[in-house]
Amino acid sequence: MNINFYLKGKASKGGTTLTKKAKQSIRTTIELRMRYEGQPFVYGTKIHATGSEWDEKRQRFKPQSLKVHHNEHLEHLAKEIEGLYIQNKTKGISLTRQQFRDQVQRHLNKSTKEKTFFDYLKQDYTEAKHLTASPRERIKKSTVTKYICAVKHLEIYQNVRRAELTFDSMTKDFYNDFVSYFTYEYFYTKKDKTIVGLDDSTIGCTVKNLKAFLSWAEQEGLHSNTAYKRFKVMKAEKEQIITLNDDEYKQLLDVNLGDDEKLQQVREIFVLGIAVGARVSDLLALKQKNIVYKGGDSFIEYIPEKTIKHRSKSLSVPIFDNEALAVIKKYEGQNENLLPKISQQDFNKLIKVIGRRAQITDKTNKTKTKGGREVIVDVLPKWQMLTSHCMRRTFITRALKAGLSIQLVMECSGHTDYKSFQRYIDFSNSKDKADAFKKCADKSTVMKVA
């Protein structure tokens, strides 16, 4: 017997035929469809989805969707209905479609069970934060993956320890054992290598999301256990950020990329990113209107997406770098977006290709923080570690090296506290240190050698 799931058809709205793009954003009911005694049988699931969330081929929610947990319910529903149908056939019970529908409804109502810890985590909490939250509190798409990862870690822990997780089980003992397990016992395979333990920042991300959920659940009156407030979010550098020195930056500018338009576009984005110092998400979202001219000078003005919940102050960054100005001139007035469209994943992949061609090959230690200790996990050529974060760190390091004040650079980068700003400063290169001290000595008689 074939049981399928489809989005309920919706071809128009207010008498207007919907385009394919519009249908992607319309929420509609998921229907179970099958043949019952040769006739079509349709059963509404009361679960809603948009076209962008739904995988038509697999007939399930897409893995990256915030509603991916509903796939388990759809699997369960299909098995229950198929089981009832086979049971009726075996017992020789003949029912009309309506009688079978009533039987299904009674059976499902009877089998409804009390919600578990994971039911609230997968469904109520995530939907509350995604569908009904105010725009300022709504979960961003980029955050969805982190929640899915946190749920996965909690489920792994529950299965390994064979202890059901509940609101009452969220104690200090649970926290200590959870961190210990994922630091010293958990293992996974990556590129044919067995890796033991997650790094501190990954565990910390799961703990952070767990605490956010438990806080929401407490506010909703689902529990009164406040032990979670003492769970420590392990902090480590989320990602090792590489900085390009002046010679490497020149190599990247000068390398011949032939007629590969995509690589040329990525290099242009990289050049502008180093001049602006924006996060890559903000950089790729820049519009033509973000180019502002004042007194004959060029500025990029924008509101960072990360801080828009807390403040609406625009950042204003003057652009004097000739290479960056050339990029602006090239794309100004072409499309609504200032820069060519590209995903962050593709950008990070292609900037490595450019780095390799530019022979940015200095050996660099790749480190992770595990159990509170920084360990070297690999030694790689520098181009392999190039990512979009390199633009922001290079911008900050070059600006400070040029003599700009920390306060001014923070004003341009959007940092509000020095601690988070500090991780973007890189003066590990001895030449950079010497140049900075030489510049300072040229300005001060105190440091000059007699």
How high is the pLDDT of residue 450? 37
120 pLDDT exceeds 60? yes
Q: What's at 208, amino acid-wise?
A: K
Neighbours of 337 (CB within 10 A): 14
d(CA 261, CA 264): 5
Q: What's at 332, amino acid-wise?
A: E
β-strand partners of 364: 380
Of 122-136, 213-227, 357-371, 381-395, which range is least confident? Answer: 122-136
In three-state secondary structure terms, 34 is strand
For the chain, the structural domain boundaries read: 3-112, 117-230, 246-437
How high is the pLDDT of residue 448? 43
Q: Is the dihedral of CA 146, 149, 153, 158 positive or negative?
A: positive
Choose from 39-48, 215-224, 282-291, 436-445 the range with maximum mean pLDDT: 282-291
* 37: phi then psi, degrees, rounded to nearest 5: 50, 45
Confidence category of residue 447, pLDDT binned at 50, 70, 90: very low
pLDDT over 90, % of the chain: 46
Angle, to 10 degrees, between the axis of helix 389-401 and the axis of helix 406-413? 150
When pLDDT is averaged across residues 343-350 and rounded to a whole number, the result is 93
Per-residue pLDDT tens digits for 352-383: 999 999 999 988 877 777 666 777 767 889 99
How high is the pLDDT of residue 229? 96
How high is the pLDDT of residue 274? 94
First to last CA, the chain: 94
445 pLDDT exceeds 70? no
Confidence category of residue 349, pLDDT binned at 50, 70, 90: very high
Confidence category of residue 417, pLDDT binned at 50, 70, 90: confident
How high is the pLDDT of residue 26? 82
296 pLDDT exceeds 80? yes
Residue 206 contacts residue 233 (beta carbons within 8 Å):
no
How high is the pLDDT of residue 15? 45
Confidence category of residue 12, pLDDT binned at 50, 70, 90: very low
* 256: phi then psi, degrees, rounded to nearest 5: -80, 115
d(CA 408, CA 375): 34
When pLDDT is averaged across residues 327-353 and rounded to a whole number, the result is 93
Angle, to 10 degrees, between the axis of helix 97-111 and the axis of helix 70-91? 130
* CATH superfamily name and code, 246-437: Intergrase catalytic core (1.10.443.10)
140 pLDDT exceeds 90? no
How high is the pLDDT of residue 135? 53
When pLDDT is averaged across residues 261-286 and rounded to a whole number, the result is 94
pLDDT, averaged across the chain: 84
d(CA 173, CA 156): 17
300 pLDDT exceeds 80? yes
For 48-54, the CB contacts below 8 A with 24+ separation are 49/7, 50/24, 50/25, 50/26, 51/7, 51/23, 51/24, 51/25, 51/26, 52/24, 52/25, 54/7, 54/30
When pLDDT is averaged across residues 372-401 and rounded to a whole number, the result is 85
Choose from 5-14, 24-33, 346-355, 439-448 the range with maximum mean pLDDT: 346-355
When pLDDT is averaged across residues 434-441 and rounded to a whole number, the result is 61
When pLDDT is averaged across residues 120-132 and rounded to a whole number, the result is 69
How high is the pLDDT of residue 449? 42
When pLDDT is averaged across residues 109-131 and rounded to a whole number, the result is 72
How high is the pLDDT of residue 11? 46
407 pLDDT exceeds 50? yes
Q: Which DSSP symbol is given to 314?
A: P
How high is the pLDDT of residue 416? 80
Residue 61 contacts residue 72 (beta carbons within 8 Å):
no
Of 20-29, 73-82, 216-225, which range is least confident? Answer: 20-29
The pair of structure tokens assigned to 218 is 């407490």
Closest C-alpha to 265, from 187, 158, 188, 341: 341
When pLDDT is averaged across residues 294-323 and rounded to a whole number, the result is 84
When pLDDT is averaged across residues 236-245 and rounded to a whole number, the result is 71
When pLDDT is averaged across residues 77-96 and rounded to a whole number, the result is 91
280 pLDDT exceeds 70? yes
d(CA 390, CA 398): 12
For 424-429, the CB contacts below 8 A with 24+ separation are 424/241, 424/392, 424/393, 424/396, 424/397, 425/393, 425/396, 425/397, 425/400, 426/241, 426/243, 426/393, 426/397, 427/397, 427/400, 427/401, 429/243, 429/245
